[in-house]
Amino acid sequence: MDYQFKDIEQKWQQFWADNQTFKADDNSAKPKYYVLDMFPYPSGAGLHVGHPLGYIASDIFARYKRLKGFNVLHPMGYDSFGLPAEQYAIQTGQHPAITTEANIATYRRQLDQLGFSFDWSREVRTSSPGYYKWTQWIFMQLFNSWYNKAADKAESIDKLVAHFEQNGSAGIDAVSDEEVATFTAAEWKALSKEEQQAELLKYRLTYLRESTVNWCAALGTVLANDEVKDGFSERGGYPVEQKKMMQWSMRITAYAERLLQGLDTIDWPEPLKEMQRNWIGKSVGASVKFLISAPPKPSPEGRALIEVSPTGGDLEGAAIEVFTTRVDTIFGVTFLVLAPEHELVPALTTPDQKKEINAYIAQSKKKSELDRMSDTKTVSGAFTGSYVINPVNNEQVPLFIADYVLAGYGTGAVMAVPSGDQRDYLFAKHYNLPIMPIMDIQNIETEADPTKEGKYINSDFMNGLGYKEGTAKVIAFLEAKGAGKAKVNFRMRDAIFGRQRYWGEPVPVYFKGDLPYLIDEKDLPLVLPEVDKYLPTESGEPPLARAEGWNYRQAPPKPSPEGRAYPTHQAGNYRETADPVYYEQLKEFSADNRNQPTEVENILWQLLRNNQAGYKIRRQHAIGQFIADFVSLEKGLAIELDGHHHKLNKEADDARTEVLNHLGFEVIRFTNDEILKAPQEIFEVIKQKLNSLPERQKVSPTGGDLEGARDYAYELSTMPGWAGSSWYWYRYMDAHNDQEFASRKDIEYWKDVDLYIGGSEHATGHLLYSRFWNKFLKDMNLVVEEEPFKKLINQGHIQGRSNFVYRLIDEMGRGTNTFVSHGLIKQYKTSPLHVDVNIVENDILDINKFKTWRDDFANAEFILENGKYVCGVEIEKMSKSKYNVVNPDVLVERYGADTLRMYEMFLGPLEQSKPWNTNGIEGVFKFLRKFWRLFHNDQWQFSLSDAEPTKAELKSLHKIIRKVEEDVERFSFNTSVSSFMIAVNELTDLKCNNRAVLQELVVVLSAYAPHICEELWVWLGNQPGSLSYAPYPKFNAEYLVEDEYSYPISINGKTKINLNISLSLEPKAIEEFVLANADMQKYLDGKTPKKVIVVKGRIVNIVL
C-alpha cells in the first residue's frame, strides 16, 4: 500500500492513548530523565505553526532518551489563569473558566494530532482548585518565612519571633523592609498582637506594603516590571503610570545574590544568563553619608527653613546617603544631586530657591517615561540652596536636584564627580561648577574620563596610590569615621505579587483591620468566587469585591477549660446569607463547651435549668456566628459571662452585641465575680429581664440564626500570572496528591528538570521567579535541588510573514476603495493594510479572492504594475489580527504529523528565529514516501529480504546511527533530518530492502517520525507499542572504516585535484606519491615545492 499517513497516524495516536504508552514510572531502576516544555497559556486562537516547534524538539529528545534506556518524564499542562480569558469575559460575560475549558480542548486536539509522547495522566492546570490549592499553600509558606542573612537562607517566622522574645531585635541580620524597629525583648512582649504582626510583616518573604507600582488604568490592574515595555503594557499596549498602592510583594531581593551565583552552575544559553545578570544588576561599591550643612549665610529665611523641616528639628546632623561604585573618586566631588522625588527635597530647599525647585519638580513630573528616555542629552536641574559636607575633606558642596538621578535606584542621591562621570561633567559645565581632576593621567578637556589607571592627585591621603589601594584606603577612612561603608547594591526590586483582576488565584489572606492574616491551612483551596461582572467595582475595588460573601469565617478555636474562647469577631463585614456547613461546625463546638463548663457557668446553669426562671434557657447555643453562654430563644435574651477572652476584647464584645441586637436578641453581661458573689441576685435580674421582654418569633437555627453574622474581609486582589508557573514542574512529579504539593518520595526520585525548552521571552519573568521559588522551597527543605532547570534551550520564534495592500488616501485625508500596488506607493498617499496571506501567492495578490475576502472590498479598484498587484511584505509576529497565521491543522491534514514534525525541525537550528515558509515541506513529505518505499516492492507490497546486509548498506546505516546520536545530544535536529534524507537516498540507490538494516533504521527515525515507524515496526513483525522502548541501535565504527581516502590536493591552499590514496600510507609516502603524480606535475610546472603539508586522512597542501 501507498503511504497512507492519515490512517496510520490516527491509528497509532489512538493506540498510544489507549495503552498509556508514555506513562512515566515513579519508581524505576532505569536512570531518570525529565524533559519539560514551558506549558502554554491556552489562548482562543489555538496553535499556529510556531507553537509546536519547541514541543517537537522536546518530544524527539524524550523519545530518543527512552530508546537510550532512560525513564523519561515528559508531561504537559496549561498555564490557564490569565488576562485574555478575562478580557473576553468582560466583553461577553462568559465565565473565564468556560472560555479556558474550550480553549484547552482545542489545544489538546491540536497537540494530540502531532503525536507527542506526553504523559497526559499528569496534566496540570494552574486554574484548577486542586492545583492552586498548592500555589496558595506555597504563598502561605512564604508568608510564614523570613530571610536570615546570617544563615543565608529562609527560615520560619516562628524562629524570628522566638528570637524577638528572647533577645529583641538585637543580633538579627535579616532581609527586611528598611524601616524596621529596634527593640528589646521586653519591649517586644509589651507590644500588642497587632503591633507585633505589623512588625513581622516587614520581615515576611511575602508582605503587604505601600509600593510604587506600574498601574495600568485600561487593564484596571498593576503590572510587574517585566510586563511593562517602554511605558506601555506588554499585553494590549496600554499606557502605564506610576502609582502608590498597598500591594503584596515577594521579597525576591533576598535571593539576589544566590540567583546571581546560581547562574554559573546551570547550562543555559549565555544571552539568557546575561539578561538575568543584568536584571539582578549587582553593583559593588560603597554608601557614603554627606552631612547637611546650614546654608552658607544663615538669613532669617534660612532659619525659617529649619523650623519648617519635617523632621521637626535641626537638619544639621542629618545626612544625605549616596551610593557609588567609584568611592575612590570622592575627592573629585564638587556637588551632590538628588532625585526630584527625594523625600528631603522640600526640607532642604531654601526659601530663595523654592520657586525654582517647585517649577522643576512640576516639570519633571509632567515628563512622561518616554520623554525622559528619549531626551538624555538635555541637561536640566535646579539648585536647592543647601549645601552638604564631603566627609573626606570637610568641604562644602552645593546640593542640586535633577531628573537624571532616579528615585528608584540606590538611595535616590548621587555624589557628582564631574571629572569621572560624563553626566556629572555635562551638568557641571551647564551650571558652571568646578571640575576637579583626581587622576594624574586623566584627560578632561572635552569630556569626563572615568579611568581607573594612574595615580591619585588632589586626593589628600590617597595621593600617589593606585585604584585598588586607594579604594581600600578611602573605605577604611569612611568606616572609621562612621561616614560610609562598602556596600553592594542590586537593581532588582521586590516583585509585586497582586493583580486587581478576577481570573487568578485568590490570595489566602483575610484582614483584621489593616493587618493581613493567613486563613487556616485546612480551608485551602480558597476557591475563586463567582461574580456578577468581571470589572472593578464602582468605587474602584477589584472584581472580587463583587463576590457575595467573600469573607473569611474563622472557626471558633477549640475551647480550653478556662478560655472558652469565642471567635474574635469585630465590626466590619456583614453577611446576609446563612452557611449551613459552618453552622454545623458551630454546633459541634457548642457541644464541646457544654461538656466542659467553667465553674461560673455551672453555678448559673443550676439556677436557670428546667425553666426555673420561667422560660426555657439553652446554654452554649449557637446564634449566627456566635456561641452564646445562655440564651432564651423564646424571649430573645442572650446572657454573656465574662470569660478570659472577653476581658481582652471589649471591642469584639461590642461588635457581638451589635450583631445579636440586629438579630433580635437583647444581651446582658455579668462578670464572673458578680456571679460568684451573689448568684441568686443575678438570677433575679435575669428573671425580671425575661419577663419584661416580648415573646420572640421562633426562627429556624439554620435559616435565620446565621443571618447578619460578621466575617473578615478576604484579600481582593488575586495572584499574578507567574504564581502558578513558578513551581508547576514539581506538580508533574505527583500530580494528583491532595496531601502535599508533591510527595517527598517523588521529589527525591525526579529531583529537577534535566531539559527545559521554551522561549527566551521568559528570561526575566517566569525563569527568574521559578528559580526564586525553587530556592525558597529548598530552604524549607521541601525540594532537593537548588536550581530547578539544569539545562535550558530557547527555541527560536517562528515569525509571521505578513502581506500588505495599500489603500489610496484622497486629498481630504479619507480612505478610498482603491488600492495601489507596492511598487507605486511612493507616488501616492496611501495607508497600509494587512491582507490575508492565504489569498496572496509569491506576494502577488489574487484580486478576485480579495474582492470576496471582505464585503467592503467587493468593488475595490486597483492601480497595478505590469498587470499585477504586488503586496508589501513584512516579518512580524504571527497573529490573527495580522492575517498571517498558518494553521498546523491544515498542514497535518495535507501532509501528516510526521511530515510536519520533520519539516519544522528541518527549517533550521532550533534556537534561531525565522519566518515561517511552507515552501519546502514537499521535500520532507517526499522523503517519508521514499522511506516507506524502501519496505515495499513496485506493486506497493510489503517486501523485505532476510539476506546478510551488504557492506555499503551497513555503512549507510551506521553513519546515520552515529549522526543522529551526535545531533540529538547537541540539539541539532535540522542536520539529522538532512542525514536521514542522505541515508534513505543512499539505501534507495543500493536498492536496499534488507530487514536487519531497515529495522534498525526504523528505531533511529522513530523519535522524529513516530507514526510511520510504529506502522513499519509492526510490519517487521514486532509487538505493537514496543518501539517506544526498543533499544537504540549500537553504533559499530568498523562499518565505517575505509582503506582509501580521496585526498584533496591543494596548491597554496587552493584545491586542485583529488587523489585516492591508501589510508595506511604515512605522510612521507603520501608526499612522494602526490609529487610523482602526472597531473600534479602539470601544476608544479617544474618548480620545487617550498613545503608540503600532509594531514593524514584529511588534506595535502603544497606550498610553491
Quote the cell numbers at residue 421. 562621570
Residues between 754 and 783 with contacts to RNA, criterion CB under 7 A: 760-761, 764
What x/- string results for residues 372 through 391 when contact with RNA is judged by CB under 7 A?
xx-xx---------------
Among positions 469-528, residues that touch RNA (CB under 7 A) are 489, 491
**Spatial contact of 717 and 505, defined as CB atoms under 8 Å apart:** no
User: Any contact of residue 1067 with RNA (CB under 7 A)?
Assistant: no
Nearer to RNA, 230 or 684 (CB): 230
Q: Is it true that the peptide bond before 525 is cis, omega within 30 degrees of 0?
A: yes
As given in the structure block, the three cell numbers for residue 691 are 419577663
What cell was used for 278? Answer: 543584568
Cβ closer to RNA: 29 or 1041?
Answer: 1041
Chain residues 61-100 in contact with RNA, contact rule CB under 7 A = none
Q: Based on CB atoms, which residue is closest to RNA, 623 or 921? A: 921
Given the complex with RNA, which of 822 and 963 has the nearer CB atom?
Answer: 963
Given 193, 229, 365, 485, the residue binding RNA (CB under 7 A): 229
Give me the half-sphere count of Cα atoms (radius 13 Å) on the Cβ side of residue 588: 10
Least distance to RNA from the beta carbon of 842, Å?
Answer: 9
Write down the least CB distance from residue 323 to RNA, Å. Answer: 5
Q: Are 707 and 626 contacting, i.e. CB atoms less than 8 angstroms apart?
A: no
Buried b (16+ CB within 10 A) or exposed e, 272-281: bbebbeebbe
Rule CB under 7 A: say whether 366 interacts with RNA.
no
687 counts as binding RNA under rule CB under 7 A: no
On the 0-12 / 13-18 / 19+ scale of CB atoms within 10 A, 856 is exposed
Helix H segments across 93-245? 96-112, 129-143, 157-167, 185-190, 193-201
- For RNA, the closer of residues 68 and 493 by Cβ is 493
One character per residue 932-971, x = contact with RNA (rule: CB under 7 A):
-------------------------------x--x-----
- Give the shortest CB-444-to-RNA separation in angstroms: 16
Q: Are 72 and 31 in contact (CB under 8 A)?
A: no
Q: Which lies closer to RNA via its Cβ, residue 490 or residue 712? A: 490
Burial class (CB in 10 A: 0-12, 13-18, 19+), 192: exposed
Q: How far is the CB of 266 from RNA (least distance, A)?
A: 16
Site for RNA contains 671 (CB under 7 A): no
Instruction: Please count the residues of this chain forming the interface with RNA, following the rule CB under 7 A.
Output: 80
Q: Which is nearer to RNA, 197 or 1050 (CB)?
A: 1050
Residues 1037-1056 that bind RNA (CB under 7 A): 1046, 1048, 1050, 1052-1056
Shortest Å, Cβ 202 to RNA? 23
Q: How far apart are CA 524 and CA 225, in angstroms?
A: 30
Helix ranges (DSSP H) in 215-350: 256-262, 270-280, 300-308, 345-348
Q: Which of 106, 156, 283, 737 binds RNA (CB under 7 A)?
A: 283
What distance in Å separates the CA atoms of residue 513 and residue 893, rounded to the nearest whole number? Answer: 61
Q: Give the residue carrying C-alpha cell 525563569.
A: 767
Site string for RNA, 1080-1099 (x = CB under 7 A): -----------x-x-x--xx
Are 937 and 990 in contact by the 8 Å Cβ rule? The answer is no
Find the shortest distance in angstroms from Cβ 180 to RNA: 23
What letters, b where the CB count within 10 A reaches 16 and e where it falls short, cover 467-476? beebbebbbe
Length of the chain: 1104
Contact 318, 306 (CB under 8 A): no
Q: Judged by CB under 7 A, does residue 274 bind RNA? A: yes
Nearer to RNA, 283 or 818 (CB): 283
1062 lies in the site for RNA, by CB under 7 A: no
Query: Sign of the C-alpha dihedral, residues 778, 783, 789, 790?
Result: positive
Helices (H), 544-635: 580-595, 599-608
Among 94, 212, 737, 972, contact with RNA (rule: CB under 7 A): 972
Nearest alpha carbon to residue 28 among 70, 74, 63? 70
CB of 985 to RNA, least distance (A): 5
Pick between residue 403 and residue 787 the one whose CB is nearest to RNA.
403
Give the nearest distance from C-beta 790 to RNA in angstroms: 21
User: Which residues in 911-1042 belong to E strands, given as ranges?
Assistant: 914-915
Q: Binding to RNA by residue 271, rule CB under 7 A?
A: yes
223 binds RNA (CB under 7 A): no
Part in contact with RNA (CB under 7 A); list of ranges 171-179, 645-653, 901-909, 996-1004? 901-909
Near RNA by CB under 7 A: residue from 67, 617, 907, 1027: 907
Residue nearer to RNA on the CB measure, 273 or 645: 273
Cell of 55: 514541543
Residue 994 makes CB contacts below 8 A (sequence gap 6+) with 944, 945, 946, 947, 949, 950, 953
- How many of the other CB atoms lie within 10 Å of CB of 376? 8
Q: What are the DSSP calls for 323-359, one per residue?
A: EES-GGGGGG--EEEE-TT-TTHHHH--HHHHHHHHH
Report the residue from 179, 264, 270, 946 that binds RNA according to the rule CB under 7 A.
Answer: 270
Examine residue 412 and tell whether it contacts RNA (CB under 7 A).
yes
Q: Smallest distance, Å, CB 792 to RNA?
A: 15
Cβ contacts of residue 826 below 8 Å, gap of 6+?
none
Q: Please, what is the minimum distance in Å from the beta carbon of residue 929 to RNA?
A: 7
User: Please, which residue, 696 or 930, has the CB nearer to RNA?
Assistant: 930
Half-sphere exposure of 270 (CA within 13 A, CB side): 0
Give buried/exposed letters for 247-256 (b at 16+ CB in 10 A, else e).
Answer: bbbbbbbbbb
Q: How far is the CB of 447 from RNA (least distance, A)?
A: 12
**423 belongs to the binding site for RNA (CB under 7 A):** yes
State which of residues 610, 700, 919, 1088 lies at the interface with RNA (CB under 7 A). Answer: 919
Question: Which of 179, 1085 has the CB closer to RNA?
Answer: 1085
Residues of this chain, 285-324, that bind RNA according to CB under 7 A: 285, 323-324
- Residue at grid coordinates 529495522: 999
Smallest gap, in angstroms, from Cβ of residue 369 to RNA? 9
Residues 319-338 that bind RNA (CB under 7 A): 323-326
Contacting range for RNA; rule: CB under 7 A; set: 115-123, 521-529, 825-833, 979-987: 979-987
As given in the structure block, the three cell numbers for residue 95 are: 465565565
Sign, Cα dihedral of 364, 365, 366, 369: positive
Distance CA 1104, CA 1101 (A): 10
Question: What's the rounded Cα separation, in Å, for the pair 967 and 963?
Answer: 6
With CB under 7 A as the contact rule, the residue among 281, 351, 466, 823 that binds RNA is 281
**Interatomic CA distance for residues 464 and 468, integer angstroms:** 12
Tell me which of 9, 155, 226, 653 binds RNA, using CB under 7 A. Answer: 226
In angstroms, give the least distance from the CB of 415 to RNA.
7
Nearer to RNA, 166 or 917 (CB): 917
Question: Contact region for RNA (CB under 7 A) — 221-229, 637-645, 860-868, 1065-1073?
Answer: 221-229
Asked if residue 909 binds RNA (CB under 7 A), the reply is: yes
- Residue 261: count other Cβ atoms within 10 Å of its Cβ: 10
Nearer Cβ to RNA (97/1099)? 1099
